[in-house]
């Protein structure tokens, strides 16, 4: 009883913590010491306005909105040619076809002339240039842009004017200011601390946090060509914008050399030369911000407001090899702290690397190689010649290295955990359970198991993590070893994974993050007991200790996830390389990128100009849209209290036309499994006509009385649902979901395809945004609507009946608490006299799909498959790891 009360109390505390994340902060403290974020000039004019003044748009009531192009058709052709079109040669051949130029009336006749127009007339973008870097007597080319030009381009983009922050803030969930909240980068401690230092030295500063990311990527499969791009974004820009490649909030600032230095025969010397080459190139790229970070430079924002900006190196984003390279530490140790290698598996952290001691060691360079090597070794770093961060103002590279969800978690810890689980329980048992998982829209079915997968991608590891808990529940370990601790360890690591990806955090939820890691460490020894691990001394496990401190410093992990740079490789490296003739590629790649960026920038400008023209023509102003100018956020109120923001209900879409226009009741019973469809629909109609009638009164009626004056309905086979993420704001994408309700059929080749009837979470009228209270799980057997004639025959005109309804079979209500160890809810079918309890509900009551893990027992029954397991299994567990939305809402 005491354990149940404790679990109930923990659940209530978790609900309160999640509730805090859904609301706006109760207290907001803005940095008010000095003149942080002061405006230098409020009317300098935006980039769009200055660019518009240079174009010849013509006069009169209808100016040319597509200038410098003659008309909309010409602009559309240029945009297609540079974004989607063929090669320059093919485009020129197209224009040379007789009659094409005459009909299109273009101002250019070849691709070269079009490129001249793009290069000379469209908005200026930071240009690439090439310099040579000499290392060990060899010269290497590095292609890069002027860093300050890139900063100005991002900072001054009018598309980001709505989404910029200039002053750090501290957010609190409660009036006692004990529960701190973290989200955007400006809510973290780093910005506040640096702002305080700058205000003492240079009052009125606006910090421009620079977020860099680097990662090598393969350009070809067979020729072994690779690229080493470096990307830049600004912490001032909202993270919801930064993570969307279509917004162009990440800018390619250079390509580093990819030479392997194979002419250096000694391995240690070659490694040192590669590190020196990297830091020399990065140092040249960073050169412009050294003075600007200290003195500040006037920068114009997208709203036309000028501030004195201080571009400061804030965050480095990369995988572990990149982290070790930039931190100048040996491979196999932590780049952030001084933990010993044999202590990497401990649950306690170690002191951070002392930047002052390391800077003292770097200052010994002029004393000679021997003394420099000795000083660096004593400081715990490699003797790299002038690391690029050595002279950067207000920068601490060891603090700037941030967590990496993709490589540290999915491709690191989760990869290891999946391997350990497979080795501990046996590949055959794990694969058998994979092959019998019920389907779901957000789930990938591993029909051949997971033990034989090779070159597993990050996305595949994500897909495995969604079902990992169901693979280990109730599965015995060999030799009679209790699986309890291993189940707890898997649950703890999954909790850490999902909590680490929260888009907003509080002091309370960071406590849950630390607790999850502590639970893993408390139970990990079982892996040594069963012989799948000898020790846990590897950096990726140790790195998890730095997640919570990094979130407190720089905001949540979606501010600096390497998934963004992995996606950028497609646009800035792979596609760029494909546009070349594969000979002397970098000059062609950089020119291709510059032209593409110009076209994209002009596309946004055209949208702004059209909006401005419409506003000028209309007598009444219209609301601002993307690209219009709005005042900057300048409020300096130290605190405010806000009420919770109401979250939107699920948006549900069903096809306009039914999949089956006239599904007879007999067909619904025989093919859909809706065995009690007619009495269930009769009861639903009676409740619509008389809302006060009770279930007991309905059940007293004789079954023969429950007949309807029609014998068919229109049936639908899919429900699409979009759920707003409870923790996200207006820029966040909804969680897309789908419910399949489809009988068996034959495909175009005559092969039988089993039927599929998904399970859903149904709001019983008082369900909240998180937790299972007020919800029930049901399996949908049919989704249907009534014809107008049928509706009129059974319902009065004044009854507001739902357009779409669902016949569902119920599972028992949720228990008061989840089960021990795996912490998932146990469900069984709801039966009455041995018959499944079913009813008809409005489709609008369905919150989302839900996935159930079958209780397989020690051995998964052979007759079970993915498509019949819901019918043959008696006991299930609710999968709370289906996606981020499920993890937040179902616990």
Which residues constitute the domain of residue 534?
A: 408-545
Look at residue 293 in the predicted model and tell me its pLDDT. 95
Q: What is the pLDDT of residue 437?
A: 96
682-696 as b/e: b if 16+ CB within 10 A: bbbbbbbeeeeeeee
Nearest alpha-carbon partner for 433 in 865, 877, 758, 800: 865
- Do residues 455 and 499 both lie within one domain? yes
pLDDT(529) > 70: yes
SS3 283: helix
Q: Is 9 inside a domain boundary? A: yes
Nearest residue to 312 (alpha-carbon basis) of 396, 241, 410, 196: 396
Yes or no: say if 853 and 876 are a contact pair by the CB < 8 Å rule: yes
Does 26 reside within a domain?
A: yes
Q: Using CA atoms, how far apart are residues 646 and 637, in angstroms rounded to an integer?
A: 24
Are 18 and 71 in the same domain? no
Percentage of the residues of the chain whose pLDDT score is greater than 90: 67
Q: Per-residue confidence at 699, pLDDT binned at 50, 70, 90? A: low
| Structure confidence at residue 642 (pLDDT) | 33
Cα 861 to the center of its chain, rounded Å: 37
Q: How many CA atoms lie within 13 A of 84 on its CB side?
A: 4
pLDDT value of residue 42? 84
Q: Which two tokens stand for residue 102?
A: 């005459």
Q: What is the mean pLDDT of residues 856-873?
A: 94
Both 362 and 494 in one domain: the answer is: no
**Reported confidence tier of residue 852, pLDDT bands at 50, 70, 90:** very high
Tell me: do 704 and 792 sit in the same domain: yes
261 falls in which pLDDT band (50, 70, 90)? confident
Does pLDDT of 134 surpass 80? yes
Q: What does the pLDDT read at residue 408? A: 94
- Residue 240 included in any domain: no
Mean pLDDT rounded to a whole number for the chain = 89
Instruction: Report the alpha-carbon distance of residue 567 to residue 548 in Å, rounded.
Output: 25
Q: Is residue 641 part of a domain?
A: no
Binning pLDDT at 50, 70 and 90, where does residue 286 land? very high
Q: Residue 602: its pLDDT value, please?
A: 92
Which stretch of DSSP H or E encloses residue 669?
helix 665-671
Cα–Cα–Cα angle for 488, 493, 497, rounded to 5 degrees: 145
Q: Name the strand (E) or helix (H) holding 689.
A: helix 677-689
Question: What would the two tokens of residue 749 be?
Answer: 């080749």
> What burial class does residue 313 get, using C-beta atoms within 10 Å of its C-beta: 0-12 exposed, 13-18 middle, 19+ buried?
buried
Q: Is residue 111 part of a domain?
A: yes
413 or 102: which carries more pLDDT confidence?
413
Residue 611 lies in a domain: yes
> Which strand (E) or helix (H) includes residue 505?
strand 505-506
Going by C-beta distance under 8 Å and a sequence separation of 6 or more, which residues neighbour residue 131? 141, 142, 144, 284
How far apart (Å, rounded) are the C-alpha atoms in residues 361 and 384? 11
**Do 9 and 54 belong together in one domain?**
no
pLDDT above 90: residue 546: yes
pLDDT number for residue 643: 34
pLDDT for residue 589 is more than 90 = yes
pLDDT higher than threshold 80 for residue 157: yes
Nearest Cα neighbor of 286 from 164, 423, 388 is 388
- The Cα–Cα gap between 147 and 388 comes to 14
Mean pLDDT value across residues 838-855: 95
* Number of other residues whose CB lies within 10 A of the CB of residue 42: 13
Cβ contacts of 77 within 8 Å, gap of 6 or more: 104, 106
Judge whether 839 and 675 are in contact, CB under 8 Å.
no
Nearest 5°: the CA angle 673, 679, 682 is 125
Cβ atoms of 727 and 502 closer than 8 Å = yes
Does one domain contain both 606 and 668?
A: no
More confident residue, 221 or 1: 221
Residues 14 and 113 in one domain: no
Q: What is the pLDDT of residue 581?
A: 87
Q: What pLDDT shows up at residue 646?
A: 34
Shared domain for 702 and 816, answered yes or no, is: yes
The predicted model gives 714-729 an average pLDDT of 84
Residue 583, strand partner residues: none
**Mean per-residue pLDDT, 334-342:** 93
Say if residue 667 is in the same domain as residue 762: yes
What pLDDT is stored for residue 631 in this prediction? 36
Q: Checking phi first, is residue 629 left (phi over 0); if not, alpha (psi -120 to 50) or beta?
A: beta
Mean pLDDT of all residues in 669-677: 95
- 290 inside domain: no
Phi-psi group of 207: left, alpha or beta (phi > 0 → left; psi -120 to 50 → alpha; rest → beta):
beta
Least confident of 14-18, 177-181, 251-255: 14-18
- The number of domains in the chain is 5
- Whether the pLDDT of residue 1 is over 60: the answer is no
Question: What was the pLDDT predicted at 641?
Answer: 33
Please classify residue 500 by burial: count the beta carbons closer than 10 Å to its beta carbon, then call 0-12 exposed, 13-18 middle and 19+ buried.
Answer: buried
pLDDT band at 623 (very low <50, low <70, confident <90, very high): very low
At 694, the pLDDT band (50, 70, 90 cuts) reads confident
Given a cut of 90, is residue 842 above it in pLDDT? yes
Residue 703 pLDDT grade (very low, low, confident, very high; cuts 50, 70, 90): low
Does pLDDT of 155 surpass 80?
yes
Q: Which residue has the tokens 């982290």?
A: 323
Q: Are residues 493 and 608 in the same domain?
A: no
Q: Is the pLDDT of residue 152 over 80?
A: yes
Least confident of 128-137, 226-235, 776-785, 854-863: 128-137
Are residues 680 and 723 located together in one domain of the fold? yes
pLDDT of 223 higher than 80? no
Q: Give 734's pLDDT tier (boundaries 50, 70, 90).
A: low
> Same domain for 613 and 495?
no
**How many angstroms separate the CA atoms of 251 and 658, rounded?**
47
Beta bridge partners of 337: 352
In a domain, 202, yes or no: no
Among candidates 128, 258, 251, which has minimal Cα distance to 592?
128
Q: Which tokens belong to 686?
A: 């009676």
Quick one: pLDDT at residue 56?
66
Average pLDDT over residues 37-52: 83
């Amino acid at each position: 009883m005491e354990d149940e009360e404790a679990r109930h109390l923990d659940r209530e505390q978790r609900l309160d913590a999640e509730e805090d994340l859904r609301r706006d902060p109760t207290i907001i403290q803005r940095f008010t010491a000095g003149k942080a974020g002061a405006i230098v000039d409020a009317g300098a004019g935006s980039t769009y306005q200055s660019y518009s003044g240079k174009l010849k748009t013509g006069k009169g009531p209808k100016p040319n909105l597509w200038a410098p192009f003659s008309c909309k058709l010409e602009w559309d052709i240029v945009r297609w040619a540079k974004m989607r079109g063929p090669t320059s040669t093919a485009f020129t051949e197209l224009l040379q076809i007789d009659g094409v130029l005459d009909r299109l009336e273009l101002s250019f006749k070849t691709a070269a002339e079009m490129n001249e127009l793009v290069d000379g007339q469209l908005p200026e973008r930071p240009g690439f240039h090439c310099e040579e870097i000499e290392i060990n007597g060899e010269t290497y080319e590095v292609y890069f842009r002027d860093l300050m030009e890139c900063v100005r381009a991002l900072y001054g983009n009018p598309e980001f004017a709505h989404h910029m922050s200039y002053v750090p803030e501290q957010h609190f969930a409660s009036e006692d200011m004990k529960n701190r909240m973290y989200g955007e980068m400006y809510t973290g401690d780093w910005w506040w601390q640096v702002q305080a230092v700058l205000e003492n030295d240079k009052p009125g500063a606006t910090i421009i946090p620079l977020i860099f990311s680097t990662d090598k990527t393969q350009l070809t499969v067979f020729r072994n060509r690779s690229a080493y791009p470096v990307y830049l974004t600004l912490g001032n820009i909202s993270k919801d914008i930064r993570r969307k490649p279509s917004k162009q909030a990440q800018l390619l600032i250079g390509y580093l050399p990819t030479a392997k230095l194979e002419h250096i025969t000694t391995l240690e010397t070659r490694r040192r030369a590669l590190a020196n080459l990297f830091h020399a190139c990065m140092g040249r790229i960073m050169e412009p911000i050294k003075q600007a970070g200290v003195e500040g430079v006037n920068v114009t924002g997208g709203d036309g407001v000028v501030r004195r900006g201080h571009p400061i190196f804030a965050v480095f984003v990369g995988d572990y090899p990149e982290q070790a390279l930039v931190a100048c530490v040996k491979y196999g140790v932590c780049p952030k702290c001084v933990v010993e290698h044999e202590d990497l598996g401990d649950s306690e952290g170690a002191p951070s690397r002392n930047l002052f001691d390391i800077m003292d060691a770097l200052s010994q360079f002029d004393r000679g190689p021997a003394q420099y090597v000795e000083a660096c070794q004593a400081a715990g770093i490699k003797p790299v010649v002038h690391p690029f961060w050595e002279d950067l103002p207000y920068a601490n590279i060891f603090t700037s290295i941030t967590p990496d969800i993709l490589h540290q978690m999915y491709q690191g810890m989760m990869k290891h955990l999946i391997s350990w689980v497979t080795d501990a329980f046996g590949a055959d048992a794990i694969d058998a359970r994979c092959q019998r998982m019920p389907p779901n829209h957000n789930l990938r079915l591993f029909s051949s198991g997971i033990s034989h997968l090779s070159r597993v991608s990050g996305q595949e590891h994500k897909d495995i993590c969604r079902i990992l808990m169901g693979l280990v529940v109730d599965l015995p370990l060999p030799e009679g070893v209790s699986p309890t601790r291993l189940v707890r360890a898997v649950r703890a690591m999954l909790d850490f994974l999902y909590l680490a990806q929260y888009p907003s955090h509080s002091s309370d939820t960071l406590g849950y993050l630390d607790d999850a890691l502590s639970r893993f460490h408390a139970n990990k020894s079982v892996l040594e007991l069963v012989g799948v691990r000898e020790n846990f001394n590897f950096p990726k496990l140790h790195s998890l200790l730095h997640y919570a401190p990094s979130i407190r410093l720089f905001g949540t992990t979606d501010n600096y996830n390497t998934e963004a740079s992995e996606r950028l490789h497609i646009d800035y490296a792979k596609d760029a390389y494909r546009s070349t003739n594969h000979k002397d590629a970098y000059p062609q790649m950089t020119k291709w990128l510059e032209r593409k960026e110009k076209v994209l920038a002009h596309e946004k400008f055209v949208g702004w100009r059209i909006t401005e023209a419409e506003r000028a023509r209309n007598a009444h102003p219209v609301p601002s849209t993307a690209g219009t100018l709005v005042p900057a956020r300048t409020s300096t109120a130290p605190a405010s209290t806000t009420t919770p923001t109401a979250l939107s209900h699920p948006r549900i879409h069903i096809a306009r036309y039914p999949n089956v226009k006239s599904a007879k009741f007999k067909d619904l019973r025989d093919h859909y499994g809706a065995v009690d469809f007619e009495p269930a629909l009769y009861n639903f109609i009676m409740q619509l006509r008389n809302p006060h009638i009770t279930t007991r009164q309905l059940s007293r009626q004789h079954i023969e009385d429950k007949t309807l004056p029609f014998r068919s309905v229109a049936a639908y086979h899919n429900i699409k649902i979009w759920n707003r993420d409870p923790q996200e704001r207006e820029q966040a994408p909804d969680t897309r979901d789908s419910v399949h309700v489809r009988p068996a059929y034959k495909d175009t080749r005559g092969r039988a395809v089993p039927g599929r009837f998904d399970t859903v979470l149904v709001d019983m009228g008082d369900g909240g945004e998180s937790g299972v209270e007020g919800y029930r799980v049901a399996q949908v057997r049919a989704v249907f609507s009534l014809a107008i004639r049928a509706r009129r025959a059974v319902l009065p005109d004044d009854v507001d009946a739902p357009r779409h309804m669902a016949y569902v079979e119920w599972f028992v209500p949720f228990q008061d608490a989840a089960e021990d160890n795996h912490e998932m809810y146990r469900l069984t079918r709801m039966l009455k006299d041995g018959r499944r309890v079913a009813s008809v509900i409005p489709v609008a009551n369905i919150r989302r799909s839900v996935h159930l893990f079958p209780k397989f027992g020690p051995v998964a029954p052979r007759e079970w498959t993915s498509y019949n397991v819901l019918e043959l299994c008696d006991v299930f567990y609710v999968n709370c790891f289906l996606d981020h939305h499920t993890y937040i809402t179902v616990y």
